[in-house]
Amino acid sequence: MNAGFRIFALVLTMQLSACSIGYYFKATAGHLELMRLRQPVDQVLADPETSPQLMRFLEQAGASLAFAHKDLLLPDNGSYRQYSNLGRPYAVWNVIAAPEFSLEPVTWCFPIAGCVAYRGYFREEYAQELASGLAGDGMDIFVGGATAYSTLGRFSDPLLNTMAGLPAPRLAGLIFHELAHQQLYIKDDTRFNEGFASFVEQEGLRRWTGSRFDSGSDIASVQCALAVRHQRRTEALEILVRGRRQLGELYAADLAEPVRRAGKAAIFADMIEQYLVLRDRWGQPPFFDGWFDQRLNNAMLAALGVYDDYVPAFDAMLAEAQGDLQAFYHQADQVAGLPRPERDAEMSRLLTEAASSSGPKFARPLAETCPDQTDN
């Protein structure tokens, strides 16, 4: 998962429990430390001690940032013009929880970010402590590290060492995704927010591949890498979607808990087995092993669902805007401003329109057929 942690607090609100105060204190301390470590990218690039690998990462990020501002019309508020070395593999660790017999994630509410389907920590041990307690209450739990951190444009978010190992296309996509959250974010609707950002990321990459490379062979190579990844991601998600449907039917059935528990285990085992067959057919990376290990449970399915459920709807929205990003952003903003029932109804209409069309019009790689190859 490439979403950043979007919860931070600089002012504690009244009537918080002692547990909440402890959480906000940790979040504030982590945020301030991350901000304190920021250095201007130009300064880091000019430093003779800067490694070639770090210089390459910062230059690639700078090129992707320029494209995001100029070609994708995403906000330019100073974000990603500074760099922080956190000295750890992830910016934050997010905890996602779901009841044993439900695919609806537990939500946590915060003064700035609103209600979201995860809770993040700057230290892994704090995340694992919460996860252990929730698991003790019978919840399905997923703990995942996030490479990015976002304040939704309220501060100048830095590039992080946690992003430095990403291939160029995935780094560009991450920057597009996080800037999309600065473009549009509404409280209490994780599915809308993540669907919007995921679509902008995918559409941004589609446009980025045609502008970044000079020769046709370079363009074809990158487009093929993206096309292979996109196709495989789609195939892997189809397994999860079928499994979610089966689990939803099982959980809704009037069955004894031991019967539902056994059925649940069988469905998850079948999803993993289907993926292993698919993986054998692929033969070489990119793989999606992290989705289909022994952590696969209700919480992970809930987490994956919020990123992709609305992507086809936003594709249909861009089609209605005739591919014009400015008009698309305006329409998305109008839908975001609707009362929740009307917003849900409009997104359902767009999903229906997307399903009845001949397929996605925008957010997909341009290459239709490519040989298997590793991610670039």
- Quick: pLDDT tens for 165-198: 999 989 999 999 999 999 999 988 988 999 999 9
Amino acid sitting at position 193: N
| pLDDT of 235 | 93
Find, among 120, 188, 116, 185, the residue nearest to 148 by Cα.
120
CA distance 338 to 81: 34
Checking 356-361 for CB contacts under 8 A at 24+ apart, the result is 357/316, 357/319, 360/312, 360/315, 361/315, 361/316, 361/318, 361/319
Per-residue pLDDT tens digits for 143-154: 999 999 888 888
| pLDDT of 115 | 80
pLDDT beneath 50, residues of the chain:
1-3, 6-18, 214, 366-367, 372-376
